[in-house]
Amino acid sequence: MFEFPMISDSENKEYYLFFKCDKLQENLNFYNVYYSEEDVYDNGSMYINGEKQTGDIYFQEMYYNLDKVAKLAVFILLITGILSLISIAIYYNKKINVEKLFWLIIPVTFIAFLLIMPTFKSHDEAFHWFRAYDIAQGNYFTQIIDNKPATTADEEILNITNIVPEGINYNYIINSIKNNEQSDKQVQLSLDTTAIYNPIQYFPQTMRNITCKLNN
Per-block mean pLDDT, blocks of 10 residues, the chain (216 long) = 76 82 62 75 83 81 72 83 81 76 78 67 75 85 85 77 57 67 76 83 80 73
Query: ∠ at Cα 165 (162, 166), nearest 5°?
Result: 135
Do 70 and 137 sit in the same domain of this protein? no
3-class state of residue 108 by DSSP: helix
Do 192 and 160 sit in the same domain of this protein? yes
Q: Which of 54, 88, 116 is the last residue of a domain?
A: 116
Do 130 and 200 sit in the same domain of this protein? yes
Pairing of strands 47-48, 51-52: antiparallel
CA distance 109 to 87: 12
How confident is the model at residue 28, as a pLDDT?
Answer: 58
How confident is the model at residue 52, as a pLDDT?
Answer: 87
**pTM greater than 0.95 (yes/no):** no
How confident is the model at residue 182, as a pLDDT?
Answer: 67
Do 111 and 135 sit in the same domain of this protein? no
Total domains in the fold of the chain: 2
Structural domain contains residue 24 = no
How confident is the model at residue 169, as a pLDDT?
Answer: 61
The candidate with the shortest Cα–Cα distance to 61, out of 39, 43, 81, 49, is 43
Strand partners, 119: none
Residue 45 identity (one-letter amino acid): S
* % of the chain exceeding 70 in pLDDT: 75
Structural domain contains residue 55 = no
DSSP structure string for 187-209: EEEE-TTTTTS-GGGGHHHHHHH
Expressed as residue numbers, the domain containing 160 is 125-214
How confident is the model at residue 97, as a pLDDT?
Answer: 78
Structural domain contains residue 42 = no
